[in-house]
């Protein structure tokens, strides 16, 4: 069976050495030594000022909204994983969808300004599949209207824009370190923040709002990462360059083999790649469903990602229609890509595509 992804597990003994360390010091959670070590190493590796580790990527988004005191309406994209939208709703914010650029799959920056109202407090774009948004135009809009910007950068680990980490863009960028991601901590996530004061606020928000033993200045939550997860992250960070190289080889082979058969995502020329996903667009939904049936019969399981378009969610009111996002979501799939995908298995996938498109 070939799934769309497969979790990479590091050297067992290396991980167990960290586990032994946890058992010796007895520090399991609450800002432990391994977590602090991972935050520092990640900040250095990614080239950013502050990394705040949290329990998962959804928590990272929620803490970002609270840290920035967002209210009212937030302009975001309908083409993303559901957490981008649900995290807004659960924090009392109203998602307002700007349709996507159907070539890049990112939010269409030209469609943002017309949606701004006196109730708009922020823009939440997504670097879809790690493809950098039009960050410069979004920055100009945000500055003109005095809006905050939170980038959902769940797919953008190690991506650079014009030579610097894409994670430096906006007021806060968030990462997901779920087990399916390029870099993972089993479950986990992070906030990337440049402002020192905002970092301190985010840190007590993830710990029930507790600033110190005598002060609880904010309504917080429990969003802390534990030491076992931090240990996994430390192990994977040792292997990250190798993981990216292996993904790049698989990615380039797909692209070469399929360039005349399918439509690819249009990539930001000022941005690097991390090869986390390989999306392809088919001619219509019927072609997609027929292909998925053939793949399933061969125990190969790509994913309809992202589907459905989030403007169709039942709990979003008032109803909004984003034709571009709906159209792309009906005919896009992500092919299997992970470091241990064998050449033989990739050849099977390519052969099926050639025979059925």
Q: State mean pLDDT over 297-311.
A: 97
Q: Nearest CA to 10 among 280, 210, 237?
A: 237
Residue pLDDT, tens place only, 1-41? 999 999 999 999 999 999 999 999 999 999 999 999 999 99
What one-character DSSP code corresponds to residue 332? Answer: E
Q: Nearest CA to 255 among 240, 266, 241, 243?
A: 266
Percent of the chain residues topping a pLDDT of 70: 100
d(Cα 319, Cα 340) in Å, to the nearest integer? 43
- Tell me the pLDDT band of 214, cut-offs 50, 70 and 90: confident
Contacts with 192 (C-beta within 8 Å, 6 or more apart), sequence order: 46, 48, 50, 51, 52, 153, 165, 167, 168, 172, 173, 174, 175
Q: Has this prediction a pTM greater than 0.75?
A: yes
Q: Where in the chain is the domain with CATH 3.40.640.10?
A: 2-98+106-234
Reply yes or no on domain 240-356 having CATH 3.90.25.10: no
Cβ pair 220, 206 in contact under 8 A: yes
Q: Where in the chain is the domain with CATH 3.90.1150.10?
A: 240-356
The DSSP result for 286-303, as a single string, is: HHHHHHHHHHHHTTEE-B
- Tell me the pLDDT band of 212, cut-offs 50, 70 and 90: confident
Percent of the chain residues topping a pLDDT of 90: 97
Tell me the CA end-to-end span of the chain in Å, nearest whole number. Answer: 22
Q: State mean pLDDT over 278-292.
A: 98
Q: Where are the beta strands (DSSP E) in the chain?
A: 2-3, 50-54, 73-76, 94-97, 120-124, 148-152, 160-161, 164-165, 172-176, 189-193, 279-281, 300-301, 332-334
d(Cα 80, Cα 83) in Å, to the nearest integer? 8
Contacts with 163 (C-beta within 8 Å, 6 or more apart), sequence order: none
Would the pLDDT of 218 be above 90? no
- Tell me the pLDDT band of 186, cut-offs 50, 70 and 90: very high
The tokens of 81 are what?
A: 């994983």
Q: How big is the chain, counted in residues?
A: 357
Q: What is the CATH number of domain 2-98+106-234?
A: 3.40.640.10
Say if strands 50-54 and 189-193 run parallel, antiparallel, or are unpaired.
antiparallel
Cβ pair 337, 343 in contact under 8 A: no
Q: Residue 89 CA to chain centroid, in angstroms? A: 18
Would the pLDDT of 140 be above 90? yes
Cβ pair 324, 102 in contact under 8 A: yes
Q: State mean pLDDT over 172-198.
A: 97
């Amino acid at each position: 069976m070939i799934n769309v992804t497969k979790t990479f597990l590091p050297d067992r003994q290396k991980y167990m050495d960290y586990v032994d360390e946890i058992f010796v010091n007895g520090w399991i959670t609450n800002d432990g030594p391994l977590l602090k070590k991972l935050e520092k190493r990640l900040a250095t590796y990614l080239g950013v000022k502050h990394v705040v580790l949290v329990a998962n990527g959804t928590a990272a988004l929620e803490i970002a909204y609270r840290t920035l005191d967002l209210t009212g309406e937030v302009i975001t994209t309908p083409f993303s994983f559901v957490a981008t939208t649900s995290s807004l709703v659960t924090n009392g914010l109203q998602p307002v969808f700007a349709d996507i650029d159907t070539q890049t799959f990112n939010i269409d920056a030209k469609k943002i300004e017309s949606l701004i109202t006196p109730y708009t407090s922020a823009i939440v774009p997504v670097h879809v599949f790690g493809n950098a948004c039009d960050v410069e135009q979004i920055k100009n809009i945000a500055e003109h209207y005095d809006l905050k910007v939170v980038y959902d950068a769940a797919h953008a680990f190690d991506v650079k824009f014009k030579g610097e980490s894409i994670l430096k863009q906006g007021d806060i960028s968030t990462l997901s370190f779920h087990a399916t991601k390029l870099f993972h901590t089993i479950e986990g996530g992070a906030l990337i923040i440049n402002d020192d004061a905002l970092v301190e606020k985010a840190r007590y928000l993830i710990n029930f709002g507790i600033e110190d033993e005598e002060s609880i200045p904010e309504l917080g939550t429990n969003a802390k990462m534990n030491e076992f997860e931090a240990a996994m992250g430390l192990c994977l960070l040792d292997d990250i360059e190798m993981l990216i190289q292996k993904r790049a080889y698989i990615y380039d082979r797909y692209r070469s083999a399929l360039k005349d058969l399918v439509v690819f995502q249009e990539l930001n020329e000022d941005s690097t790649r991390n090869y986390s996903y390989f999306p392809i667009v088919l001619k219509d939904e019927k072609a997609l469903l027929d292909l998925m049936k053939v793949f399933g019969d061969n125990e190969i399981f790509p994913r309809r990602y992202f589907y459905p378009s989030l403007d169709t969610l039942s709990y979003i009111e008032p109803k909004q229609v984003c034709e571009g996002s709906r159209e792309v979501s009906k005919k896009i799939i992500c092919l299997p890509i992970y470091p241990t995908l064998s050449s033989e298995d990739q050849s099977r996938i390519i052969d099926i595509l050639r025979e059925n498109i």
